Every structure is written in C-alpha cells, then in structure tokens.
Structure 1
Amino acid sequence: MLLRFCILACLFTSSAIASDASHIDQVLNSAKLQGSGKLTWWGLHVYDASFYRGASSNSSEFALDLRYQKSFSGNAIANRTIEEMKKLGVPEAQAQSWGKQLATFLPNVEPGQNITAIYAPKQGTTFYFEGKPLAQIAGAEFPKAFFGIWLDPKTSAPKLREQLLGQSCPPPLFQESCN
C-alpha cells in the first residue's frame, strides 16, 4: 500500500529547496506556496511535494509540484495513480481510462526532476515536466480524483496532506467544513 503511494507520490514531487516555479506563477497569477512536505517510505525519501494556490486564498486554481528523490518509470507512476484513485472510490473503469491517458505522456523521472500538475477550472489539469508542458486532461471529475490522492480527507498520506494544506482550507474542489 505505501509502496504504491510512494511511486504515485513520486510522480508529483517538488522540493522545499527553491526550484523554478515560473510556470506555476504564470498560470496562477502570483502563486503562493500554501504548504510543503516530504514523503518517506521505510525511511527512504521518495519525493518532496509543494502545494500552491492562486493569489487569493479562496482561489479555485491550484498546483501540486512533486520533486522526486528516486527514479520511477512513467508507467509505474500512472499505475500508482490508478491504485490511489480507486482507494478514494473512483470506479475501476474510470481509473483505468485515466491511467491509460496518463501513461501516454508521463515521463520517466530521475532524482531531482519534477512533475507539476496545475488545475484551472476552465482548462482542466495541465501537467508539466521540468517546467515544460506535457499534456492536459479536461473535465471537472479528473482533478478531484487525481489531486484527491494528496488532498482528499481519505488520502493514504494524511500527514503529507496536513503539511500541504498548512493552516488553510483545501481548495473549493475539496471543500469540507472549514473555518
């Protein structure tokens, strides 16, 4: 269970060390870092994750940047994504369909490389590798399933979720009672 999450989480890792986030800033119009954390598995540092919001704290646009600390194939990342989505209640057929889409564009990653996913309601979810656009998945259901891997209250990494959200509420896509 944790191994699968680690592989998936590795998909979208970023470091607390300053990395070029200009692509995030461009899309989110002055993005603000809301929180960051690292995923470890059996003492191994798998990836660093950073969660960004638009200039407004109630903005519906957000980004998740993952900087990997381990090597993973794009197919392994897509497969892990499918497994994590299913744990959150995404039907098998839908998770498999999205997994096939992801497998067509997710690159193999090496330590220090990052994948970023940015959600904008009118565009859908856009993926970047090392700051360069990879692909876009339209629709409102995919981002809830995909980003839910880290932001849904039922995530398999609750400590990382807490670190990513900090003292703030999740984006409106995941809004639960929040004061």
Structure 2
Amino acid sequence: MKKILLFVSALVMSLNLQAIELDGVTVPETLNLENQTLKLNGAGVRSKFFVDLYVGSLFTTEKASEASSVLNSKTPVAIQLFITSKLITSEKLTEAVNEGFEKSTGGQIAPLQDRLSAFIDVFKDEIVKGDNFVMFITPGQGVNVYKNGKKLATIEGDDFSKALLGVWLGDQPADADLKADMLGK
C-alpha cells in the first residue's frame, strides 16, 4: 500500500510540473533567464474575433492567483508572448500596446511616454508567426525585453513595470480570459 501511495504522489507531482501545450505552443514549466528560474504560473490564448493571436504565459517565483500580488511583487516576474498568427504585425502590436497602456494607466500615460516609446521600438522589426517575446521584470530595476532569446531593450522604473503588467493583469486587461488563465484560474 505504501508503494502505491508513493507512486500516486510522484505521478501527481510530475503532472503538476509538466509543460503545457496551447495552440500548438509548448509552454515550459520554468523560465530560466538572467540567473533566475521562474515557475509557470499560468498560460492561455489571446483571441480576438474568434482568431487566436498568441499564447501568453506568466512566470513567477511563487504561485499567484491574485493580480494584485503580481502587480505589487517584490520578486522577478515575466510575461511571455508566443505569436501564433500571421495577423500580428508590427503596426497592430504597436497599436495594441498603446491601447493596453492607456487602459492600464487609466489614461495617465504622459509620465511613461518616453519609456513607452522605447518599449514600442522593440516591435518595429517585422513580426512573424513563431516569434517569442519575453518581458522580464525585476523590481527596483525595470523590464528587460527579449525577442527570440535576444535582449533588445531595458526599460527602467517600477511604474513602467506595473503599467506593463497591467496590460494583461490590470482592471481592464487586454483579454479577461487570458488574465484568468495566467493567474491559474
């Protein structure tokens, strides 16, 4: 009986640590970046008008089911976007980011404008299906932005980091279902 319980426990633990597959994308159980290992908190598909656009995932040091704990985190967090649609272009992603920041900040975008412009520059090159963006946030330092594993920008400021997280986890997220999925709900 003891062996059966150990086997079942090991099986359940291994199932909890498995990578998940969404829209043809394998989302890993951990993200290793900048000498940090973050755990998958949750992931989902961003859809608009019944079209899947990207797989978004949230990585944290500790499991979080409330957006406020991620928005106010004192430990690193990361958001990963894996582009799954040819409909995502540089122009459309730029427009979506601007709209997301407008909602995230309640229209108070002026203090972030220069940094937002630098962030948007990351999306100026052609975006193709299969591109992978990671926004790695370190409290007290800012956001390092990666595309396909290459670091493209560093944007300083906790105010910017919080506004960026708010695009997906704020009161008016880009996609409420994706927000719930990222929070493991």
State TM-score, norm by structure 1. Answer: 0.73
CA drift of 1:118 comes to 0.7
The CA distance in 1 between the partners of 2:36 and 2:110, in whole Å, is 36
Partner of 1:151: 169
- Residue 26 (structure 2) aligns with: 18
Q: Considering only CA atoms, is the larger Rg found in Structure 1 or Structure 2?
A: 2
Alignment of 1:97-116 (within 5 A): 97-106=114-123, 107-116=125-134
Matched to 2:45, the amino acid is: K
Q: Deviations over 1:23-52 (max 9, x none)?
A: x41336222100000011122111111111
The structural deviation recorded for 1:68 is 0.7
Q: 1:20 offset after TM fit, Å?
A: 7.5
Determine the C-alpha separation between the residues in 2 that align with 1:147 and 1:100.
17
Which of 47, 60, 79 is residue 40 of structure 1 equivalent to?
Answer: 47
Aligned identity (percent) is 23
1:131 to 120, 124, 149: 149
Spell out, residue by residue over 1:76-134, the C-alpha distance to the aligned partner (whole angstroms, 9 max, x if none).
Answer: 32332111111231424345434421233323211111111010013210100001101
Asked whether the 8 Å contact 2:97–2:120 carries over to 1, the reply is no
**Would you tell me which structure has more strand in proportion to its own residues?**
2
Letter in 2 for 1:102: F
In 2, the alpha carbon distance for the partners of 1:131 and 1:21 equals 17
Out of 33-42 and 58-67, give the one that drifted further: 58-67
Give SS of 2:33's match: helix
Which shifted more, 36-45 or 87-96?
Answer: 87-96
1:70 to 74, 85, 89: 85
C-alpha RMSD over aligned residues:
2.5
Check if 1:122 corresponds to 2:140: yes
Unaligned runs of 5+ in 1: 1-14, 168-179
**Residues 41 and 183, structure 2, Cα contact 8 Å, conserved in 1:** yes
SS of the residue corresponding to residue 75 of structure 2 reads: coil
TM-score (norm 2): 0.70
Task: Give distance in 2, aligned partners of 1:98 and 1:75.
Answer: 18
Aligned pair in 2 of structure 1 residues 143, 92: CA closer, same or farther (>3 Å)?
closer
Q: Is the 8 A contact 2:168 2:175 kept in 1?
A: yes
